[in-house]
Amino acid sequence: MVFSSLFFVFFFFVLCMALVLTRKTVKGQNTVLLIFSLLFYAWGGPVLLLLLCGVTFICWLGGRVIGWLQRPFYRRLTLFMTVAICILIFVYFKYTNFLAESFRWIFRFDTVLPEIVLPIGISFYTFQLLSYVADVYRGEAEAQPSYLRLLLYASLFHQCVAGPIVRYSDVCAELDQRSITLQDLSSGVTRFAVGLAKKAVLANYCGSLASTALAANGLAEASSGTVFLGGLFYMLQIYLDFSAYSDMAIGMGRMCGLHYCENFNYPYISGSVTEFWRRWHISLSTFFRDYVYIPLGGNRRGLGRQILNLLAVWALTGLWHGASWNYVLWGLYYFVFLVIEKLFLPKLTDKTPLWSRILRHVGVLVIVWFGWMLFYFEDLSVFGTAIGSLFCANGNVFWDMNAQLMLLNNLFFLIVAILACTPVVPFLRRKLAEAGKSSPAWAAFGNGVDAAFPAILLFASFVSLIGNTYNPFLYFQF
């Protein structure tokens, strides 16, 4: 089951919210959310639900023992054992085939690879539970006495499958005590509608255009313009798709009185690679910063150690995204540019000339475009073919009729998709709100826009989803 399906939008979630809003106590609301979360996760395979429950039990037990123990040695030992068990389970399901395939290629032997199904969302709920155990160890959160309450935290269907990675310390208070206000319901519906429209109207069509342009069987003959446009549409798709999921998760959480962290902040307007990663997948970046980079020493032990710590973080970031060498190289690709920025490029300030800002911004977009191309092609030989066609090294032409038709037929859509990746709409809404403070007419107009906007988006999404109700999010595979 996916958020962008008619069954989920108009039945599953509506029924869940109806039951939540009619419960008079937080305990009753939590019971409804837990039941629906387990049903949601079991929809993709009931057996995999046992894995989620098992990993949660391991972390619940580990947290309880850490909270009970007093001696630092035994608390560290319990933390290590809990984390090690969870990581081993995670590695088994996500990386066994990758490791076996790599060893088979290195040592040139034939063997039958195991068939292991990757549980949906395992990367997200494993990291969330590990953050819980670490926070209990650090004293930043109390050990949760109720296994079912921790299971609710780990399995909340709003964000279990593809994030954001919600830390237990951020929501533990709301799991015990919260209220659902009209403001929460209103803002939650709007945020959900925005995410659904991003996915159903924009991301899905960007994905179809990218798949057509970057099809492996035609890459060698494709024009440079076709490859560039295919990469551009994929660049738009992956942001619109992933941020759409986060928007919908945050919106649904808010409707239930839960306030999840923001996960995207318009990363394509960044002026540096460092800024890009402060705006892209914020919950993952902060997780690696707080639970890997800083514990390794961060920038406190000299430049050499800092670079080594960055290398570890970005290798893990690449591996987290997928069990393939292109993801590892993608992580190391960003490591190289982050180090170059740190060592050789001055930081952007208010005194930086406009031409320099524009040049840096364009440079970041070029770096990100190439990064997404590396991310897209798991087969590195196909990636090489695509880059060869981009630079007309395969005997292909620079521009042809296919590229021209793709651009002209989708020019209006391309402009809308690009604008959706920028803060233009929030900026206009703020200006409208400012005008409404001094003019009743503008205030009435703004209220009308606020009321009509989510309805229009939901209708457009409904039309887009008719006949195409199964369109999983890209990050389900990670």
- Position 111 pLDDT exceeds 80: no
Which of 158, 259, 281, 321 is an active site residue? Answer: 321
3-state secondary structure of 268: helix
Q: How far apart are CA 111 and CA 130, in angstroms?
A: 34
Match 């460092």 to its residue by tokens: 274
The DSSP call for residue 113 is P
Would you say the C-alpha torsion 61, 62, 65, 67 has a positive or negative sign? negative
pLDDT digits (tens, 9 = 90+) for 404-431: 999 999 999 999 999 999 999 889 888 8
pLDDT mean over 74-98: 91
- Residues 133/291, Cβ–Cβ less than 8 Å: no
Integer Cα distance of 228 and 216 in angstroms? 14
DSSP for 343-365, please give it.
HHSPPP-TTS-HHHHHHHHHHHH
In this predicted structure, the answer to whether residue 473 has a pLDDT above a threshold of 80 is no
Identify which of 175, 197, 353 has the alpha carbon closest to the alpha carbon of residue 253. 175
pLDDT beyond 60 at 476: no
pLDDT score of 477 more than 70: no
Among 164-178, 190-204, 373-387, the range scoring the smallest mean pLDDT is 164-178
In angstroms, rounded to a whole number, what is the distance separating the alpha carbons of residues 343 and 164?
A: 31
- Give the mean model confidence (pLDDT) for residues 71-88: 93
Contact 272, 364 (CB under 8 A): yes
Rounded Cα–Cα distance for residues 470 and 476 (Å): 13
User: Considering just the CA atoms, what is the radius of gyration of the chain in Å?
Assistant: 24
* CA 98 to chain CA mean position, Å: 22
pLDDT beyond 90 at 161: no
Closest CA to 167 of 283, 263, 60, 36: 283
Determine the average pLDDT of the residues in 235-261.
92
Average pLDDT, the chain: 88
What is the pLDDT, as a whole number, of residue 95? Answer: 85
Whether the per-residue pLDDT at 469 is higher than 60: the answer is no
pLDDT of residue 467: 65
Which one has a higher pLDDT value, 87 or 103? 87
pLDDT at 228: 96
CA 426 – CA 191 distance, rounded (Å): 12
Can you give the pLDDT at residue 470?
53
What pLDDT, on the 0 to 100 scale, is given for residue 9? Answer: 82
Mean pLDDT value across residues 253-266: 91
Which residues have C-beta within 8 Å of that of residue 317, sequence separation ≥ 6? Answer: 284, 288, 331, 334
Query: Which of helix, strand or coil describes residue 118?
Result: coil
Residue type, 73: F
* Confidence check: pLDDT of 384 > 60: yes
**Average pLDDT, integer, range 167-184:** 86
C-alpha 170, offset from chain centre: 18
Query: Per-residue pLDDT averaged across 367-373, rounded?
Result: 96
Residue whose pair of structure tokens reads 């039951």 in the numeric block:
19
Q: What residues have CB less than 8 Å from 268, skipping those under 6 apart?
A: 239, 365, 368, 421, 422
At residue 237 the predicted structure's pLDDT band, cuts being 50, 70 and 90, is very high
Number of helices (H), then strands (E), belonging to the chain: the values are 21, 0
- What pLDDT is recorded for position 474? 61
pLDDT score recorded for residue 189:
92
Report the pLDDT averaged over residues 162-169.
Answer: 81
Q: Please say if 321 is a catalytic residue.
A: yes
Here the tokens at position 141 are 């959160």
How does pLDDT run across 55-74, given as a tens digit for each residue? Answer: 999 999 999 999 998 888 99
Sign of CA dihedral 35, 457, 410, 266: negative
